[in-house]
Amino acid sequence: MQFFLALLGMVGLASASLRLPLPMEVIQKHPHLMHEPIHPDARIVYGKPVGAGEAQYQIGLFRSGSFICGGSIINRNTIVTAAHCVYNYESRPNLFKILYGTTDRTSQNNFAEVQSITRHPQYSSNTIDYDVAVIRTAKDLLPSDNAVASAESLKYITTAECQQRWGTVNAITDRMLCTMSTEQSACNGDSGGPLVNKKNGQQIGIVSWGASGCKVGSYPNEIAEKIPQLDDSPQRIINGKPVVAGEIKYQIALLRGGRFICGGSIIRQNAVLTAAHCVFGSENNPTLFSVRYGTTNRENGTTVTVSKINRHPQYNQSTIDYDMAVLKLSQPIQLSANVAPVNLSTVLPTAADDLLLSGWGRNQNWQVPINLQKAETLKVISQAVCQSNWAGTNAITPRMICAKSKDQSACNGDSGGPLVNKKTGQQVGVVSWGSSDCGVNGRPNIYSSVPNLIGWINKMSFFLVLLAALSLASPLTAGERARRLPLPKEIAEKFPDDDVDVPPRIINGRPVATGEIGYQIALLAGGQFICGGSILKSNIVLTAAHCVYGNEDRPSLFSVRYGTINRESGTTVTVGRIIRHPNYNPTTLDYDMAVLKLSQPIQPSANVAAVTLSSTLPTASDSLLLSGWGRNQAGQTPVFLQKADTLKVVSQTVCQANWGGGVSITARMICAVSREQSACNGDSGGPLLNKGTGQLVGVVSWGSRDCSPGGKPNVYASVPNLIGWIQSSSN
């Protein structure tokens, strides 16, 4: 069988970036191949000119005005080329143009703007496998009757013969076909160009990689097979079982441009965990991605866009180490009977544990099920055994967990999906990589280890995004700045200058005597102080919703310290249940209240007392008392409770005028200010008391980040306007 290789190969290659690429393993094992001299003419070696109109499907791909690759027209506005030609530029189609309808690549006519670029999701820059990309143009590429070079003496080389010629330097996969000629060869500028069967005129391949010296009759050129064949690659849980609605509530489908690409798991209401390789190269374009949840059918369900991508900074695309990413969502996931976050494991699974994998993809019959599948016969494989199975190919690091089953297996389409310990119900892994044939009982599949990366996951998912935390040493670190007294999103966007580095504190606070404010508590998360709060009953504490937001289903993370003015000592009791106000809005911070039910009652003493709730709003004549822990005006970190007792109410109208049109001061908010004192970050969730009545009127919610006395009023969640909800939630 003869093949016709029509390629825009006449490229002046001063830069090695336009070399015909070699897989990373080949370069590492045979560096001489990378440094062979580039052919002086930098074209199809011994190519023949193409007559006008002879290869009408041929295009030239230009980036930033410079020719870089070839490609072929497969319909009126669609181009197919090599993935390596557009790698890392998928989100920047405006950099590219298509030259078509000509054999002269220096022509200034017939250019088409690129509208979108879709690189094969399994493309590996390491092995150059799945080396295909689809480009869509902004206009139709109409036929034209219009110097392309061609190679017509190429012959097909069997996979076995091709593998023998390349030896152990790189695997020749099912997604590759090889050609050779004793007279002609593809070379550097031919990447992405079409390989056509002369007999039927159909495209069968795309120029992918080969030896950089472009020597005729030496190493075969590897050509990626065309897209319909690539779409038949294994993407499935092998022998998976159907998942019923609500069975795996944490599973999400990750979409890119509306198309399913990976799995993932809900770890909090506004955060999803997935694999780094699912988002690699697009971290600065989060709006390309969306998350579909609350369904076993990946084609329906609720969809929310991604607002930020946090890829692990040590992710390595060659070794696939640290293969994790946390996605922050543009709006919180709505919890329901079918939707709930998964708990993260701090303990590695053992050989005795049964593991549960879930995901979408083709099944063992090569059909494409729409509904979620599960594999529940997986067992952990030790690092040593796993490394021996993968010997010579890749290092199994402490950030990886290996698992396999005789009956079931993860495969490509499951990337990013959750691996859960069935016994504890906690997530232990994220689908990362494995054998390309996805063979059952073959080499173990590899999962990124949640226990070994949990610290980073927690940090990136704002596990303690309790913007009031303050137990850090001065000066402020970047992490501490992220925990300041929050501002509504609209204000933060409209008043960026308000974001200054000021230590959290009650400004000019005064010491509190033992037993003076017996209702004050310190709210801890993971043993670390994060917020204030107040005792309502022996088993009920009131705090701010933003202090617990995203962790409502994890009450055991939190504990309450009471009966002390020293936040480092006192009696501690764990939280048994969190009831956040259902109308709480993390963007506007409206309805910023939460009721905590304790696992055991608070023990009464001379230093402990419950506070009563006020049903009446404070007036301008009332003096208000604020209490809390935090740094003082000197930037020191006092261990002992502080108070501010010169605060006065500011009317809604005046408060709104102070804050301007950036945000609404709602009926659920009370504003207060003092020329001498002010609440600040570490006071979130703490009590605001009417000194005249001794009743609780507010909960510290938000304010200006500079915390200046006499500046913009601080805002408190209004107890009188939410008293009905507080009382019903406390029963």
Phi-psi region of 638 (alpha: psi -120 to 50; beta: other; left: phi over 0): beta
Q: Which CATH architecture has domain 623-730?
A: Beta Barrel (2.40)
Spatial separation of the C-alpha atoms in residues 457 and 461, rounded to whole Å:
6
C-alpha span between 481 and 484 (Å, rounded): 6
8 Å CB contact between 416 and 255? no
pLDDT for res 512? 83
Local structure of 505: helix, strand or coil: coil
- Give pLDDT tens digits for 217-275: 555 554 454 333 322 232 345 567 888 888 999 999 999 988 888 899 999 888 999 99
Weakest-pLDDT range from 410-419, 578-587, 685-694? 410-419
Is residue 546 flagged as an active site residue? yes
Q: How far is CA 657 from the centre of its chain?
A: 38
144 is catalytic: no
Query: What's the first-to-final CA gap in the chain, in angstroms?
Result: 82
CATH of 53-221, one of 2.30.30.110, 3.30.70.100, 2.60.40.420, 2.40.10.10: 2.40.10.10
Residue 152 C-alpha from the chain's centroid:
47
Q: What is the DSSP string of 128-179?
A: --S--EEEEESS---------EEEEEEEEE-HHHHHHHHTTSS---TTEEEE
**For residue 42, what pLDDT is reported?**
34
Q: Are 19 and 189 in contact (CB under 8 A)?
A: no
Q: Inform me whether the pLDDT recorded for 344 exceeds 50.
A: yes
Which one has a higher pLDDT value, 205 or 502?
205
- Burial profile 39-57: b = 16 or more Cβ within 10 angstroms, e = fewer: bebbbbbebeebeeeebbb
The rounded percent of the chain whose pLDDT value lies above 90 is: 32
CATH of domain 520-598: 2.40.10.10
Classified as helix, coil or strand, 343 is: strand
Output the CA–CA distances (angstroms, integers) from residue 242 to 232, 371, 415, in the order listed.
22, 7, 18
Confidence bin at 29 (pLDDT 50/70/90): very low
Closest CA to 417 of 403, 406, 437: 403
> Of the listed 181, 684, 704, 729, which one is catalytic?
684
**How confident is the model over 587-606, as a mean pLDDT?**
93
DSSP secondary structure letter of residue 569: S
Q: Report the alpha-carbon angle 155-159-165, nearest 5.
A: 80
106 CB contacts (<8 Å, ≥6 apart)? none
pLDDT at 117: 92
CATH 2.40.10.10 segments of the chain: 53-221, 235-463, 520-598, 623-730
Q: Which of the residues 546, 674, 701, 718 is marked catalytic?
A: 546
Q: Which of 321, 323, 414, 592 is catalytic?
A: 592
Residue 430 has pLDDT above 90, yes or no: yes
- What CATH architecture is 235-463? Beta Barrel (2.40)
Q: Give the Cα separation of 448 and 428 in Å (integer).
A: 8
- Concerning whether 569 is annotated as a catalytic residue, the answer is no
Average pLDDT, the chain: 76
Please give the single-letter amino acid code of residue 1: M
pTM: 0.42
